A and B are shown apart, each in its own frame.
Chain A
């Protein structure tokens, strides 16, 4: 090393630097081991997460303010137009909902006749997405509610058009969710047309999903709607996930090359619905992978 009397009060040597670094690296490795194996460290995470919360609020503030400003400065005419549009939309949805109620009643009657478990309507709660970036190595987003509101790991997130993702880390006041487009995300689905069950995996691209396990002679077509099958236990069944975009059958390969486009607009959601489904028997398996 360079001679140590170079700077005023700084001798070049820092005492026990290597030892301290080694110790801390060892602690880090222990932490990673325990954190990756099971969730013993959730309390630690929550405690530090609470300290990070104000920062998230600060970072989120400008876009929040922008949205508020936009609302505050829209003209009366625009507001009236919007209101008219919403009223019309509400009328339409309500009309459709009436029919749905009747259908739901009929469905539960038929299910009762068949001795099948009655389908419970899922409870939902609206969460707002904070404009805060999280993990650089995955497709994820941060929502503004946490365990205080009953959010748990593995909970499903949907928007008006389809499944968005699932909660991977429920903090005290904010939670992190993984999008279905993440390469680590797999979701059991079925083809709505014929009930063919398969798995949808993220590609890392926000507007593309793939179905790696569809055999070559399976009955699947472009335009097929994929809905959650409810098999993994994490997602309740029957929510739209994606629409098949391309099917390429390769004769010498066992599986066809199938891609799909997510129904939900993953890149531009502002609000999501969290689903609190009735506790099923297979909830425990949900949080794993």
Chain B
């Protein structure tokens, strides 16, 4: 168990940085609303696989960085990602044994919770946004989850990344 922890965390940190790049990458007009919540999906995956290292604290820090880079109210993404991590860690043992269809359904529910928090905080802060900005990411995120899951699992077990 006592291994060089930093070197094992690096690949995971790189996936988060890559997720942030995907989040700020320009998309063609009309498709921006369907940009998946890459970072929320990464938080779900890593919190499910390695809940001791990647839990609410990391999710919160990622959320703060996301808030700054997107110019939303400071704490908005932090709170939502923190809740995502909490739900995932709370049920991580169940989620690990779920078949992929059931897991995808669970991810749909978590992403919906995430967007609901966004919607709610936007409402309190007085930000108007079309409803598609909330629905789009849930739909695209759910559809892409099996692929993301496959890629990340491959990476996890090939490099033995972890805690």
Contacts and interface: CB of A to CB of B under 8 A. Distances in A.
Interface string B60-77: 100111001111111110
Q: Would you call the interface of chain B mostly helix, strand, loop, or mixed?
A: helix
B83 A25 contact: yes
A78 interface: no
Interface string A101-136: 000000000000000000000000000000111111
A30 B64 CA distance: 13
Interface stretch (B5-13, B18-26, B141-149): B18-26
A27 B60 CA distance: 10
A203 to B, nearest CB: 10
B14 interface: no
Contacts of A30: 75
A36 interface: yes
Interface centre among A4, A24, A25, A184 (most CB of B within 10 A): A24
Interface centre among B56, B63, B64 (most CB of A within 10 A): B56
Given A28-B60, A136-B32, A45 B74 contact: yes
B89 interface: yes
A59 B128 CA distance: 27
Interface in A181-239: 183-184, 204, 206
Interface footprint category on B: 35 or more
Interface string B63-102: 1110011111111101100110110011011101100000
Nearest to A169: B71
A59 B75 contact: no
Given A133-B27, A135-B70, A52 B65 contact: yes
B111 to A, nearest CB: 14
Interface of A: 1-2, 4, 6-7, 9-10, 12, 14, 17-18, 20-21, 24-25, 27-32, 35-36, 41, 44-45, 48-49, 51-52, 55-56, 58-59, 63, 131-138, 140, 168-169, 176, 183-184, 204, 206, 267
Interface of B: 1, 17, 20-21, 23-27, 29, 32-33, 35, 51-52, 55-57, 60, 63-65, 68-76, 78-79, 82-83, 85-86, 89-90, 92-94, 96-97, 118, 121-122, 125-130, 133, 137
